[in-house]
Structures are given as structure tokens and as C-alpha cells.
A and B are shown apart, each in its own frame.
Chain A
Amino acid sequence: QKEVEQNSGPLSVPEGAIASLNCTYSDRGSQSFFWYRQYSGKSPELIMFIYSNGDKEDGRFTAQLNKASQYVSLLIRDSQPSDSATYLCAVSFSGTYKYIFGTGTRLKVLA
């Protein structure tokens, strides 16, 4: 059973702090990793994607991938109340175009 695991939270951080969201996956052959943000009652929207080991930065967001340890993380710097949402990790498994989503981590940024 291919799995993607996330802590459901809620993760509460004060405004301006760094929020760190983590995701582990079971298939060592996984190749593509995505972070989506989902506001309550809305559909997921892409935040970042990463394919290679290391860090990838886009504005306040940094994705970190460690294939040896099978985890991917998302850092949000200078967190804002508008960042409060559920963050979904999605992984495409080796040999497929099928994406498995984690259950999501609910982030609360406190003003």
C-alpha cells in the first residue's frame, strides 16, 4: 500500500514566525512531490513542486526534499493569518502518473 503521511494538526504559529510542515512517503521510487493549499470549502491550489533532493525556494515558501529519508517538507516564512489553511502533500509514485495525497496538515497562523 503506497502511503503519504502528514500530521493532521492543527499546527499553530504566531504571525511572522516560520511554519514547518512535514510529509513522509512510502515508495522509495517516488519522483514528483507537490504541496497544495486548500482553504475550507475550496479546492486545492498548487503552492510548490519539487523533484530533486535539496531545497527549492519561491518567495516565502521553501520546499525541502530528502529522498534517502523519504520526506518532503514545506517551510513558510513570515507566516500570515491568510496562510491559515490545510496543506496537502501529494506524491507521484514510480512508474505511474497516479498522485497520492496525504490527509493534510491544518495550519493556523495567529494574529
Chain B
Amino acid sequence: GAGVSQTPSNKVTEKGKYVELRCDPISGHTALYWYRQSLGQGPEFLIYFQGTGAADDSGLPNDRFFAVRPEGSVSTLKIQRTERGDSAVYLCASSPAGGPGIQYFGAGTRLSVL
């Protein structure tokens, strides 16, 4: 596709459930980022992939959060035992290799934990 695609656009779940959020980056972009954005705040870094490996996962808030990118393209952010405090917009961004670090953002997934 032409841009970063995130699915679903909205996800409503109940406290304690498991959710998966998907990101399909721009073709050929080797770097992929996940962020979380709460209302009135800037995007909060979660994890960064370079290819298939997680180069920096220091932003994951706890071990309920996990992300994979098995083939170096699509990535899935997985949240176990969701809590109401996990409610936010989850943004994915991709960036080409060797470039100045410009990130291209997807439209985000709005997660609501009831």
C-alpha cells in the first residue's frame, strides 16, 4: 500500500482480555516503531524494530505488552490481560533505511478497555 496501514482502526475490549493490533508498514521500510498516545499527550515510545529484531523495547510499560515482526514487514503489538489504563491510541510508524529518520505514521488504532 501507499502508506502505513493499521488494523483495526477501533478496538473495544473488556478488562482482562487479550488484544492484537496490526501494523503494515510502507513497503521497503526497515524500521518500524510503536507508540501510544493518550489524550493531550505526545506519542509515547514503546518499541522499535530494525528488520525482524526489536532493537529497543525499553518503552514497553510491563510484561503484558509484547510485539513481534517475524518477517521484517508486518508487526503485531500484543497486550495481555488488558487494563483500563491501556486505553489510548496506538500508533505505528515506519522509516526507510539509511534515511534521515523521518517517520511515516499510520492512522492508529483506538483501544478502549471497558
Contact A49 B100 (CB under 8 A): yes
Contact B45 A99 (CB under 8 A): yes
Q: Which residues from A are CB-within-8-Å of B41? A: 103-104
Q: Which residues from B are CB-within-8-Å of A104? A: 41-42
Interface 0/1 of A75-111, CB less than 8 Å to B = 0000000000000101010001111111110000000
Contact A97 B31 (CB under 8 A): yes
Query: Measured between alpha carbons, how far is A88 from B59 in the docked complex, in Å?
Result: 19
Q: Which residues from B are CB-within-8-Å of A92? A: 101
Which interface class (under 10, 10 to 19, 20 to 34, 35 or more) fits A?
Answer: 20 to 34
Q: Nearest Cβ in chain A — how far from B49, in angstroms?
A: 10
Contact A100 B45 (CB under 8 A): yes
> Within 8 Å of chain A (Cβ to Cβ): is B44?
yes
Query: Measured between alpha carbons, how far is A98 from B100 in the docked complex, in Å?
Result: 13
Q: Nearest Cβ in chain A — how far from B38, in angstroms?
A: 10
Query: Measured between alpha carbons, how far is A49 from B18 in the docked complex, in Å?
Result: 37
Contact B56 A43 (CB under 8 A): no
Q: Which residues from A are CB-within-8-Å of B58? A: 98
Q: Nearest Cβ in chain B — how far from A90, in angstroms?
A: 8
Q: Which residues from A are CB-within-8-Å of B31? A: 97
Interface 0/1 of A12-39, CB less than 8 Å to B = 0000000000000000000010100000
Q: Besides the contacts A32-B101, A104-B42, what 18 more A-B pairs have beta carbons closer than 8 Å?
A: A4-B42, A6-B42, A34-B102, A43-B91, A43-B107, A43-B108, A44-B43, A44-B105, A49-B101, A88-B43, A96-B56, A97-B101, A98-B48, A98-B59, A101-B43, A101-B45, A103-B40, A103-B42
19 contacts between A and B (CB under 8 A): A4-B42, A8-B40, A34-B101, A34-B103, A44-B43, A46-B102, A46-B104, A49-B101, A90-B42, A96-B56, A97-B55, A97-B56, A98-B45, A98-B56, A98-B58, A100-B45, A101-B45, A103-B41, A103-B42
Could you list which residues of chain A lie within 8 angstroms of chain B, going by C-beta atoms? 4, 6, 8, 32, 34, 42-46, 49, 51, 88, 90, 92, 96-104
10 nearest A-B residue pairs (beta carbon): A101-B42, A43-B105, A101-B43, A103-B42, A32-B101, A44-B105, A104-B42, A88-B42, A98-B56, A102-B42
